[in-house]
Structure 1
Amino acid sequence: MKHGSYNIFKFWFSLGVAVCVFISITGFKSTLQANDNTYQSLKLFTDVLEELEKNYVDDVDTDELIHNAIKGMVGNLDPHSSFMPPEAFDELQDDTKGEFSGIGIVITMKEAILTVVSPIEGTPAYKAGIQAGDIIIRIDDKSTKDMALWEAVNMMRGPRHKEVLITVIREGEPNSIEYSLKRDLIPMESVRSAMLEPGYGYLRITNFRMSTLDDIKEHLGKLESKNNGLKGLIMDLRDNPGGLLDQAVKISDLFLDQGNIVSIKGRQERNTQVFKAHSDNEDRKYPIVVLINGGSASASEIVAGALQDHSRALILGTTSFGKGSVQTVHPLKEGFGIKYTIARYYTPNGASIQAKGIVPDIEVEYEILEKKEKKVSIFDRMIREKDLKNSLKPEKAKQPGKIKKQPQKQNRKHQRLLDSDQLQHDAQVKRALDILISYGVFSKLNGS
């Protein structure tokens, strides 16, 4: 998740002769304003570099040694900080805009192990059955041990239809699992919707990209215009790995009138900020159930946390991923750059979900409900009023005036429709729908 790009003090190694890398420790002392331990460590670094240059069994590439040192320095801070060579920047831009070819998974480093956060819906990885929590141990014939995150991303992206072999280990499975996947264009569409029952809508958000807010407004407009408005909404954030912070804030603001949405707090004052909700003219007072699971991370957790803390939505599913930090990308010389963590974020109630996740109000495991064949019992065969001789016939219901249906224009941008019948066999969706319908019934009983 990006939040601007901030200028911080940086120093760059001269990549000429090893002994000239730091020029003089005294010069750095006045510039860096650090303590004596820092200078001793820098001196130790130059001593090691010079020693290796002179006496290592083979010739060494000084540039590579220095780059590896920086890589280790940044990479050991946390799983989301990394030193990137120039080629990694182009890949980074694809995460929020543009189009790229790959297998469609979001990955992270969890305790230095390459781990799947979630597969992206509709992609080769999703269709093949790769799951959140899978540990990737090989990409093609290369082990992922000590592999940088950007290197793994580069290896999994590539020409469309060209195959890549992914080997994973999964909890509960005794042997590793191999997936031979054909790369394909990763869909940029991040929002889909369906009407599950008259008045009860379903909104699926797969990630938070630059256009997600506009897409949600379009889908909500369609749902809200049917059946005299919405009686309830299911917002599905399952396996949504997050994305842009500003989109998460603006989407939360669609359903909140006041109060904090999220606050970020960093060591520097410029990295500390509170994002607040604003009232608007849209009346969205209908109840909401938000679905989350272990693949819901980052921006997804911001939305779920904000709606939960403001009692604006009921959260259903399983505990989310637990990424409660904000990163920025800072360019360096010669095309290099660093991505590093600048702040932690906090829900409106001041809670940090880092390594904890959003805990659902109602825990429901994922399950596909099978269609059950209706069995005729002895009670179904019992005589009813309608079977009695000369029983009164039911009154015919008055037929309302027929309304001529207008042909609907197809929006090609969102022509992938969700199967509402199939969704209702999803145990979590079905439970959410039952809750919304029950809420409507009790609201009528209470006269509200």
Structure 2
Amino acid sequence: MKSFFTAFGFFTVFGVGLVSHLGAASAGDSRLEQLSKITKTMAVVEKYYVDDLNFTDISNKTISGLLSNLDAHSSYLDERAFKDMQIATSGEFGGLGITIGMKDGAVSVIAPIDDTPAAKAGIKAGDVILRIDGQSTIGMSIDDAVNKMRGKPKTGVDITIVRKGEKKPLEFHIIRDTIKVQSVSAKLVPSENILYLRVSTFDANVEKKARELIEKNKGVRGIVLDLRNNPGGLLNQAVGLTNLFVSDGVIVSQKGRDESNNEAHKADPKKKVTDLPLAVLINEGSASASEIVSGALQDFKRAVIIGQKSFGKGSVQVVMPVDDKEAIRLTVARYYLPSGRTIQAVGVEPDVVVYAGKVPNEENNLTLKESDLKAHLQSELEKVEGKKESKNDDKNIITAAQIYEDIQLKTAIDSVKIIEKISQKGGQK
């Protein structure tokens, strides 16, 4: 009993003393007094916290806490996190293949990357990550969550997901793999002579690859640009991709409190490559750079935007090294579209709202052509006979059957056809 009251008395006296010291410090507004408050608090933690912490640990946690409380995207990068970030931006790393962010205080999936373990396992944009290998993500930083999911290829990780519309959490056991991202790909919709251009992420080669694919398919009647589940990437590539479709105007600007972070990115008339009718697909997994592209094309009235409201990530982060091994990621500005509107926490509203799913039978006016049936039958015959399938046909075209499975894509294709007809009528006047 004596020891209990001694301990209780100690904490009472200690608590009063601490309040007294902190209260005195907070009374003043000077930087020196506030810095003194921080150092005093750190010293108290070092001396009295239940577990042994050295001053370096306390300092790192102090910086981490400061940055994580600013917004969902600012963070402290210790030596390991700094290395992981450098590996991730190289375009190849071991992991699951998802981009995550903080939404409504929860670690959420922005989008799974195409053809990665996460996408194949069934992880979807909007999923909330509840646990990673049994550890709760409540209070976990984005960087910590990323580090726990990343790892050596062929190793497993257990993910518990909360998904809208599901009564119970979903459990996934996913095997990590080396993530190699194919940022740009193209297929032809032969029945309509429309180019389907898929951009899954904005790496350093997006503008160049997209330009090559558009120029290679100049004979098409229009383009469907698919930015669904595209979590973003490099700003200059978002500007470059948009510039392929527009010749002038400010594509995006960024504004911050420090004027040195203010910048306007204008279109270069020499970089435009096409005036073809354009439809852009977005969904809740379209974020950052993909929102800049879709939002800018919408403001320029250059494309019809189809699908679902985008994620709403329109802030600018820069990585500032603290020393050779550590850095901070800090939000320094917000993006603004040509009309002056912001993306941050708002997202891009599509011109035509279409939810994911199949084309309803009663509205399905697709016509299966004999060539489609022949291709399907030939593929099945080759499987039976043990012959190699024609990979070119499978990879380079979209069949009517595939369109039937994707009502958003079907709507985009129809929109391109309507835009073409409107433009033809306008030219006849």
The answer for unaligned runs of 5 or more in structure 2 is 1-27, 365-389
Match of 1:272 among 251, 257, 262: 262
Aligned to 1:404: none
Alignment of 1:315-394 (within 5 A): 315-333=305-323, 335-369=325-359
Instruction: Give the aligned partner of residue 386 of structure 2.
Output: none
The 3 A distance-change label for structure 1 pair 312 and 446 is closer
Q: How many aligned residue pairs are there?
A: 374
Contact 1:103 1:186 in 2 (8 A): yes
Alignment partners' CA distance in 2, 1:240 and 1:266: 25
Distance 1:213-1:94 versus aligned 2 partners, 3 A rule? farther
Residue aligned with 2:88, SS? coil
Partner residue of 1:64?
57
- TM-superposed CA distance for 1:51, in Å, is 2.7
Equivalent position SS for 1:280: helix
Structure 2 letter corresponding to 1:438: I
CA-CA distance at 1:295 after TM superposition: 0.6
RMSD across aligned C-alpha pairs, in angstroms?
2.4
Matched, 1:160 2:150: no
**Partners of 1:266 and 1:343 within 8 A in 2:** yes
Letter of the 1:40 counterpart: E
- Alpha-carbon contact 1:101-1:184 (below 8 Å) kept: yes
Matched residue, 1:206: 200
CA deviations 1:368-419 (Å, max 9, x no partner) are: 23778x9xxxxxxxxxxxxxxxxxxxxxxxxxxxxxxxxxxx999xx95453
Shift in CA distance, 41/369, structure 1 to aligned 2, threshold 3 Å:
same
Equivalent positions of 1:18-97 (< 5 A) are 36-97=29-90
CA contact (8 A) 1:423 1:430 kept: no
Report the TM-score when normalising by structure 2.
0.82
What secondary structure is seen at the aligned counterpart in 1 of 2:270? coil
Q: Which has the higher helix share?
A: 2
**Alpha-carbon displacement from aligned partner over 1:102-124 (angstroms, at most 9, x marks no partner):** 11110012233211111111111
Instruction: Give the alignment of 1:186-197 within 5 angstroms.
Output: 186-197=179-190
Note the C-alpha offset of 1:207: 0.5
Residue aligning to 1:419: 398
2:380 equivalent in structure 1: none
Residues 92 and 416 (structure 1 numbering): CA distance in 2 closer, same or farther, change over 3 Å? farther
CA gap of 1:184–1:63, structure 2 versus 1, over 3 A, is same
Does the 8 Å CA contact 2:321/2:327 hold for their aligned counterparts? yes
Moved more, 244-253 or 45-54: 45-54
Out of 293, 316, 323, which is 1:303 matched to? 293
1:72 Cα deviation after fit? 0.4
| 1:422 shift after superposition | 4.6
Pick closer, same or farther for the CA change 1:109–1:439 going to 2, 3 Å.
closer
Say yes or no: does 1:285 pair with 2:268: no
Is this contact kept in 1: 2:112–2:118, CA < 8 A? Answer: yes
- The whole-number CA distance in structure 1 between the counterparts of 2:409 and 2:74 is 36
Paired residue type of 1:315: I
Q: Distance in 1 between matches of 2:118 and 2:94?
A: 12
Shift of 1:299: 0.3
CA distance 1:74–1:422, shift in 2 (3 Å): farther
- Partner Cα separation in structure 1 for residue 408 and residue 208 of structure 2: 27
Which residue is 1:20 aligned to? Answer: none
Alignment check: 8 A CA contact 1:244 1:299 kept: yes
Q: CA deviation at 1:150?
A: 1.5
Deviation at 1:213, TM superposition (A): 1.4
Q: How far apart are 1:171 and its partner, in Å? A: 1.6
Query: Which of 114, 123, 127 is 2:120 aligned to?
Result: 127
Q: CA deviation at 1:54?
A: 3.5
- Please tell me whether residue 218 in structure 1 is matched to residue 212 in structure 2: yes
Q: Using a 3 Å threshold, how does the CA distance of structure 1 residues 432 and 264 change in structure 2: closer, same or farther?
A: same
> In structure 2, how many angstroms separate the alpha carbons of the residues matched to 1:281 and 1:134?
38
What is the Cα deviation at residue 281 of structure 1?
7.0
In structure 2, what is the Cα distance between the partners aligned to 1:162 and 1:276? 45
Q: Decide which of 388, 411, 419 is 1:439's aligned counterpart.
A: 419
Whose relative contact order is higher, 1 or 2, with alpha carbons under 8 Å and at least 6 apart? 1
Distance in 1 of aligned mates of 2:215 and 2:93: 30
Task: Determine the C-alpha separation between the residues in 1 that align with 2:123 and 2:141.
Answer: 21
Report the Cα distance in structure 2 between the residues aligned to 1:334 and 1:123, rounded to whole angstroms. 32
Q: Is the 8 A contact 1:289 1:316 kept in 2?
A: yes
Structure 1 residue 141 displacement after superposition: 2.4
SS, match of residue 233 in structure 1: strand
Measured in 1, the distance between the counterparts of 2:51 and 2:96 equals 39
Q: Is the 8 A contact 2:221 2:276 kept in 1?
A: yes
TM-score w.r.t. length of structure 1? 0.78
**TM-aligned CA distance change 1:47 to 1:423, over 3 Å:** same
Q: CA deviation at 1:304?
A: 0.7
Q: What does the per-residue CA deviation read over 1:128-184, in whole Å, with 9 as the maximum and x for residues that have no partner?
A: 111111111111122222222122111111121211111111122121111001111
Q: 1:443 to 1:183 in 2, by over 3 A?
A: same
Cα distance, 1:259 vs. partner? 0.7
Rg larger in structure: 1
* Residue type of the alignment partner of 1:236: D
Tell which deviates more after alignment, 72-81 or 360-369. 360-369
CA distance in 1, matches of 2:253, 2:50: 53
What is residue 148 of structure 1 aligned with on the other side?
A: 141
| Partner SS state of residue 73, structure 2 | coil
Letter in 1 for 2:59: I
State the secondary structure of the residue aligned to 2:92: coil
Query: Structure 2 counterpart of 1:211, which letter?
Result: N
Structure 1, unpaired ranges of 5+: 1-34, 375-409
For residues 226-276 of structure 1, what are the alpha-carbon distances to aligned partners after superposition, in whole Å with 9 as ceiling and x for unaligned? xxx221110000110000001001111111111110010011111001111
What is the CA–CA distance in structure 1 between the aligned matches of 2:180 and 2:44, rounded to whole Å?
51
1:353 positional shift? 1.6
Q: Percent sequence identity over matched residues?
A: 42
